[in-house]
Amino acid sequence: MAFMRNHLLMLLVQAVMTLLSAVLRVVDYLSFAGNHLIQSALSSLPKGKPPFPIILPAPGFHPALFITGTSSGIGRDLALALAGHGYTVLAGVRRTEDGDQLREQFTTESQRGKYRDASLAWDTSPSSRASVGPGRIVPLLIDVTSDASMNAACRQVHSIIQEYDVPLVGLINNAGVSGSAPMEIASPGFVNEIFAVNYHGPVKLTQRLLPTLRQNRGRIINISSVASWMPGAGFGAYCASKAALRATTLSWRLEIAKFGVSMSIIEPGRVQTALWGKLAHQLHFHQTRLDSLQATIPSHTRTSPPPPSEIPLPWWNGPGAAATLIDNESHTTALNGYPAARGGTHRRPSSAGPDPLAASLVNGDGDAPTTSTSSSSVIASGPNAPLDPTRAKELYRPIYQQIQDTSQMAPLLYFPTAHCIDAVVHALTASFPKVTYRVGWDARLASIALTFLGEPFVEWVFRLANAA
């Protein structure tokens, strides 16, 4: 009886979410129309900004887009949808097999006729919808934390657009990582790694491709997050990286608009992606670490070096170590291969000292969680005193439990990636693209609440929701 009741409740929730998603799509399109009216009116005023040029796919013409982070989630769905709309999608991945799988999926779906009638929001002609046809997906290997990798990828981008004789008309910086660690015990290596992927990567890649995009008067779209202005407990470093990306986008777009290059930012709320499932595994991993935390004693309080058996995880070996783990570890290895995840321990190089808590990274484009820690010693709870491991366990376990409870609801209560795709399509194809696209009911309602009711009210709502 209880099973039947829960099943019916789940079906009801799914029906409600489907209805809300449909209503949200109408709201999105009304927002696009309102933005067009406002910017059109402003363009006629003194110092008004003229409409941006648009380069659209046409029969036999498939302009190129470069999208990073297309292994899964939003990036994968974007690559498939935009290739279906007729673009040549240069799909950035870190593993060859991910690119092969993506290209194979697109080829199979194209042969089945899935994209036969695909059209962009701007296109109202049935005849042209059928004649443009699908584009293509060309996978590219890229690691946005590596200058050498980005340089090689950019050379390959120019080689491909010359080979297909198409212009590069868009860059979508989607690759990112999410990580949770209370700021008091977040290691510098963890914070640096998040910023390397979420902020420095998009900035460096944009700098490299901006001359080509300026020549073609293309579009730049940065995928940020609602967390850039609506932070959450346990995600301080992640929120800071997305806030930095947002601020840079808003400034940079003013510098390049006169060249006919548009730059927009997409801020999704809670969207149904594979990241939430991996985040649940990550949080279980953290709980195991907290159980093992008491064995890790600050190095400067010891009279002799700690035995290797007391170190619960691999040690941070400098910048790029986490990225290497992301690239090379399979999902099974990352979660079950670590002895600490099974209650055991891991050895580290003897030259390093212990860290009170190594925070995990979950890659936003579909890769396995990885662990990064800092080469520095402990993070202090006061001016100089280290945080006692027992106290850390007591203080911060509830935060991880709260995030875990929230992530478990993601498949049921969060919105599909179609809303993000709509926002990106508009940013690519509108003569007056929006500056900021807030995607999802949570993003829209929280924005309104912050404007009119302030941060304390929004914080109260979140506390109430988490208590429920």
pLDDT tens profile 265-290: 999 988 766 555 555 555 554 554 44
pLDDT tens profile 408-461: 665 666 778 889 999 999 999 999 999 999 998 888 888 898 889 888 888 887
Q: Of 431, 46, 47, 52, give the one whose Cα is nearest residue 257.
A: 52
pLDDT at 112: 84
Give me the mean pLDDT over the 223-235 stretch: 88
Q: Which segment, 206-210, 365-369, 387-391, is predicted with the most confidence on average?
A: 206-210
Residue 16 has pLDDT above 70, yes or no: yes
Residue 194 has pLDDT above 80, yes or no: yes
Place of tokens 């808590």: 357
For the entire predicted model, the pTM comes to 0.77
Q: Of 302, 270, 304, give the one whose Cα is nearest residue 440.
A: 270
Can you say how many angstroms the Cα of residue 449 is from the centroid of all Cα atoms in its chain? 24
Residue type, 454: G
pLDDT at 152: 96
pLDDT at 283: 52
- Work out the pLDDT band at 310, boundaries 50, 70, 90: very low
Residue 85 CA neighbour count, 13 Å, CB half: 26
Contact 261, 270 (CB under 8 A): no
Residue 58 pairs in a beta bridge with 61
Strand order in the sheet with 136-141: 136-141, 88-93, 64-67, 168-173, 219-223, 262-268, 436-439
Provide the Cα torsion 383, 386, 390, 391; round to 10°. 10
Residue 138 pairs in a beta bridge with 90
Residue type, 329: E
- Work out the pLDDT band at 340, boundaries 50, 70, 90: very low
What is the residue-averaged pLDDT of the chain?
75
Question: How is residue 95 written in tokens?
Answer: 């593993």
Contact 150, 204 (CB under 8 A): yes
Segment among 232-236, 237-241, 318-322, 461-465 with least mean pLDDT: 318-322
Place of tokens 């930012």: 265
Contact 112, 89 (CB under 8 A): no
Residue 6 CA neighbour count, 13 Å, CB half: 4
Residue type, 268: P
Identify the CATH homologous superfamily for domain 53-181+190-273+413-467.
NAD(P)-binding Rossmann-like Domain (3.40.50.720)
H or E element that contains 222: strand 219-223
Angle at 371 between CA 368 and CA 374, to 5 degrees: 155
Question: How is residue 235 written in tokens?
Answer: 């995600």
Strand order in the sheet with 359-363: 177-179, 359-363, 370-372
State the CB neighbour count (10 A cutoff) for residue 349. Answer: 11
Cβ-based neighbours of 431, under 8 Å, separated by 6 or more? 36, 51, 52, 54
E-only strand ranges, 394-440: 436-439
Query: Sign of the CA dihedral 267, 269, 275, 279?
Result: positive
Choose between 440 and 359: higher pLDDT.
440
Segment among 119-123, 175-179, 213-217 with least mean pLDDT: 119-123
Question: How is residue 77 written in tokens?
Answer: 């769905």
Q: What letter would DSSP give residue 68?
A: S
pLDDT at 333: 26
Contact 72, 94 (CB under 8 A): no
Place of tokens 């860059």: 171
CA 432 to CA 426: how far, in whole Å? 9
Choose between 331 and 73: higher pLDDT.
73
pLDDT at 358: 37
State the CB neighbour count (10 A cutoff) for residue 432. Answer: 19
Return the HEC string of 255-302. Answer: HHHHHCCEEEEEEECCECCCHHHHHHHHHHHHHHHHHHHHHCCCHHHC
Give me the mean pLDDT over the 78-105 stretch: 95
Choose between 415 and 343: higher pLDDT.
415
User: What contacts 24+ positions apart, CB below 8 Å, involve 243-252?
Assistant: 244/195, 244/199, 245/198, 245/199, 245/202, 245/203, 246/436, 248/199, 248/203, 249/222, 249/224, 250/435, 252/206
Contact 361, 71 (CB under 8 A): no
CATH 3.40.50.720 occupies which residues in the chain?
A: 53-181+190-273+413-467
Contact 325, 334 (CB under 8 A): yes
Residue 351 has pLDDT above 60, yes or no: no
